[in-house]
Structure 1
Amino acid sequence: MQVLTTARALELPDWLVFSGAVYQRVLNHLTGRDADYGIRDYDLGYFDPADISYEAEDLVIRRVAAAFDSPLKEMVEVRNQARVHVWFEGKFGEPYAPLTRTAEALTRFVSPLFAVGVRLEPDDALTIEAPFGLEDLFSMTLRRNPHRPTNGFPRTAASATARWPELVVAN
């Protein structure tokens, strides 16, 4: 909640906290593990197509870091989803078409189990973005994203099942 509350106060455009910050806490709850087990970072995405330069994103990264105390200062990783297509292929070797909003990034995650994002609204309501639904997450089923062919799924599945052996890997 601290990450969500601070992110809300930053008023970034079209922001979501997503990925491990969300699904790992659910898996930890379902398996009786400590809430922080396995969490290395908190992914905070926002969407600002006005300036997709690294310099503009770096200003936001610095602003976000200044809003948190340690250890969250080092754990919150913020990225402008409007510029992911600029660097993704160079880093991961797969093409990545430009996005139109932050929640669209979830449709490209390796597995539907990971594709969940949340935002804390001004009235304290949670907006949950889950383009594939929540069934895989709550049934602890790890399967390939049917819309994203990738060679990275076996590596991702091995890493996830090493931390949560209760996961069922479906092909």
Structure 2
Amino acid sequence: MMEILDTAKSLNLPDWWICAGFVRSKIWDVLHGFSERTTIPDIDVIYFDSINIDELEEKNFEEKLKSLIPNVPWSVKNEARMHVENNMPPYSSSVDAISKFPETATALGVKLDEKDNVIVTAPCGISDVINLEVKPTLYFTETEERVEIYEERIAKKNWKSTWYKVKVFHIKSPY
């Protein structure tokens, strides 16, 4: 994990984080006593640059990361433009974007500071991920469309098939 963090840091991206499954899955692996890390589909590197929101720039960063560590499934996204992709109001920062991820247990990020200390952000707290609970972020309880997105994502991810101790909370839709 440190090699991945160090490699992402080398890009010098503004307001960068590695987030979501990279963090959550490691925590759940440890809490399940797994001796090896479970496979994750991608390494989500996010950053916030409102000056250059060209998606091609993200692809260039992915290629740079792939040239440094080719066997890692890198995914780079500029959160200054992702609100459009996600049909949401604009984010104010990467941490604001993380706070609006679908699940609290996934709304996590890590990065290295200038002295290579690991920095963690958890805008929704860490209790749900530590307690192996999958719950929606507040943002994903606010509209019927978001409730549906959360429920569809939970079904698709099927995390209980890998992490059997996980407790999934469904939204009783008021809509």
Query: TM-score range, shorter-chain basis?
Result: 0.7 to 0.9
Residue in structure 2 matched with residue 56 of structure 1 by the alignment? 57
Structure 1 residues 63-87: Cα deviation after superposition (integer angstroms, max 9, x where no partner)? 232232x311xx1111111110232
Structure-1-length-normalised TM-score: 0.87
Deviates more, 1:47-56 or 1:19-28: 47-56
Runs of 5+ in structure 2 lacking a partner? 171-175
Correspondence list, 1:62-141, <5 A: 62-68=63-69, 70-72=70-72, 75-88=73-86, 95-141=87-133
Residue in structure 2 matched with residue 92 of structure 1 by the alignment? none
Q: Which runs of structure 1 show a deviation greater than 6 angstroms over 4 or more consecutive aligned residues?
A: none
Say whether the 8 Å CA contact 1:41–1:76 is kept in structure 2: yes
Describe the shift of the 1:35–1:21 C-alpha distance in structure 2 as closer, same or farther (beyond 3 A): farther
Q: Aligned-pair distance for 1:132?
A: 1.0
Identity of aligned residues (%): 26
Letter in 2 for 1:62: E
| CA root-mean-square deviation | 1.6
Letter in 1 for 2:12: E
Say whether the 8 Å CA contact 1:61–1:79 is kept in structure 2: no
Structure 1 residues 71-125: Cα deviation after superposition (integer angstroms, max 9, x where no partner)? 11xx11111111102323xxxxxx2111121111111111111111001112121
Tell me which of 137, 150, 153 is aligned to 1:153: 150
Runs of 5+ in structure 1 lacking a partner? 89-94
Q: How many equivalent pairs are there?
A: 162
Residue in structure 1 matched with residue 164 of structure 2 by the alignment? 165
2:1 paired with 1:4:
no
